[in-house]
Chains A and B, each alone.
Chain A
Amino acid sequence: MNGYHFYWSTVWQSFPLMLAGAWVTIQITFLAFIIGTVIAMPMAVARQKGEGWAYRVSTSWVELARNTPAVFQLFVFYFGLGAFHINIPSYAAVLISVSFNNAGYMTEIFRGGLSAIPRQQMSAARSLGMTSPQSFMHVIFPQMFKVIFLAYITQGIWGMLNSSLGMLVGLQDLTGATQYAQSVSFRTFEFFIVAAGMYYLIAKGLQFSALIAFRLMYRS
């Protein structure tokens, strides 16, 4: 390796900083996952309907989120709003942009799931006297989540990967904290290989716990 000497000790000195960054990453991943889900559920229903202003709004949202780079979306919320003198902290900007992205992708995932639910389920629920929102909450969505579970969790992991863009707007998430820590010693490779390992562990941990949660929820 051209006489390059690896220094790992500098990484361990900054390890607490990186752990704090990892915690920010986990927070944003989790919150954006929840916010994305909450927004995507009504949007998927609107997309399914195929007409009206709600359909147009959610279709535009979906197409914008899916056809522009995540880094563009982040810049709009950080620098774009900043140009109007609406200065939001980088944490909020990353959270909003990752939620925006998640919601767009999840809408399409949910829509695919909704079209797999037989029409009669809705009619049956309504004929039992449930209102439309009640039938969605108690009958349709629980079945839908079972169908789309894997794609849904994969999107959650994508959200985590997107949150790494926080580095570009100065957020001290795992990538940002690593970037900050390595800027003292310029041991870029050592620092980022450790960060990559941490991302891998977080991704696997999230996947595993989601799988457990799924098993518990749909025990049958």
Chain B
Amino acid sequence: MQFQFAQQGLTWHDTYFLAEGLLNTLELAASATVVGTIGGVVLGWVRTVSVTARVATTPIVDILRSVPMIIQLILANSFLSLAGFSTSPFIFGTVALGAWMAAVTAEVVRAGLLSVPPQYGKSARSLGMNRRQELVYISLPLAFRTALAPWINLVLSLIKDSALAGVIGYVDYMRATQTLITRTHETWVLLLGAGFLYFIICYPVSKYSRRLERKIAV
């Protein structure tokens, strides 16, 4: 008797699998964005005000930016496992993507803070604000204006990079697509579906950020 595979073609149940993958992609991107942005704002502020901190953190920022994300993911996965944190791929992905996001956001935040004329800060201080008030009410809002568009671009990079989380076993949209391609061999439908999905997430946002860039440049 010849061996026969169970049903191989695409079925409607697979859309559920893909939807789950999409949800996982968005969850990972969102959590890495939150972690990375909070870390990046703190790191960027520290790097702006203290020369010592800048010198001390430069190698870390530098390394995170010149090592491929796929290797950072594998390292986060294996290192955290060695260190005894046997948690989910979601956490590993958040750590790796969040660390990268923090490093690049720090530079954007620093550029934003440096774009605030020093006189503004001094005026705020002379009006009787303390350093924290000056930062929260004067410098950060002004820095936000400059940093917003580049930050949006970083979030888009993060969403696209999260497609690599499949390497450490996280079933994101790309991984779900790959799994279905392996089973059904409907390569083009699934692959173009994935491309289309990432495109409709990223395209409007990147259009918006470019408009924002132009508006701020004027």
Contact = CB atoms under 8 A, between A and B. Distances in A.
B163 A72 contact: yes
Classify the interface of chain B: helix, strand, loop or mixed: helix
A84 B159 CA distance: 29
A189 B75 contact: yes
A175 B83 CA distance: 23
B173 to A, nearest CB: 9
B87 to A, nearest CB: 14
Contacts of B167: 168
Contacts of A83: 185, 187-188
Given A80-B187, A165-B70, A192 B161 contact: no
The size class of the interface chain B forms with chain A is 35 or more
Nearest to B196: A68
A114 interface: no
B56 interface: no
Contact of B71 (A1, A64, A168, A196): A196
A118 B212 CA distance: 24
Given A68-B160, A164-B68, A188 B191 contact: no
A1 B70 CA distance: 24
Contact of B191 (A66, A80, A168, A175): A80
Nearest to A186: B78
A63 B163 CA distance: 18
A110 interface: no
Contacts of B202: 66-68
B70 A72 contact: no
Classify the interface of chain A: helix, strand, loop or mixed: helix
B206 A67 contact: yes
Residue from A1, A64, A72, A80 whose CB has the most chain B CB atoms within 10 Å? A72
Given A70-B160, A71-B164, A192-B74, A76 B68 contact: no
Contacts of B72: 196
Given A71-B174, A199-B71, A189 B82 contact: yes
B194 A1 contact: no
A138 B191 CA distance: 42
Residue from A4, A157, A162, A188 whose CB has the most chain B CB atoms within 10 Å? A188
Given A64-B199, A67-B199, A72-B198, A175 B68 contact: yes
B208 interface: no
A79 interface: yes
Given A67-B198, A72-B174, A83-B187, A175 B70 contact: yes
Nearest to A199: B67
Contacts of B74: 188, 192
A82 B164 CA distance: 21
A175 B73 CA distance: 12
Interface of B: 62-63, 66-72, 74-75, 77-79, 82-84, 156, 160-161, 163-164, 167, 174, 178, 181, 185, 187-188, 191, 194-195, 198-199, 202-203, 206
Given A1-B82, A67-B198, 11 more contacts: A63-B203, A64-B195, A67-B202, A69-B160, A69-B161, A72-B195, A80-B187, A161-B67, A188-B74, A199-B68, A204-B66
9 contacts: A2-B84, A66-B206, A69-B161, A69-B198, A165-B70, A175-B68, A189-B82, A199-B67, A203-B67
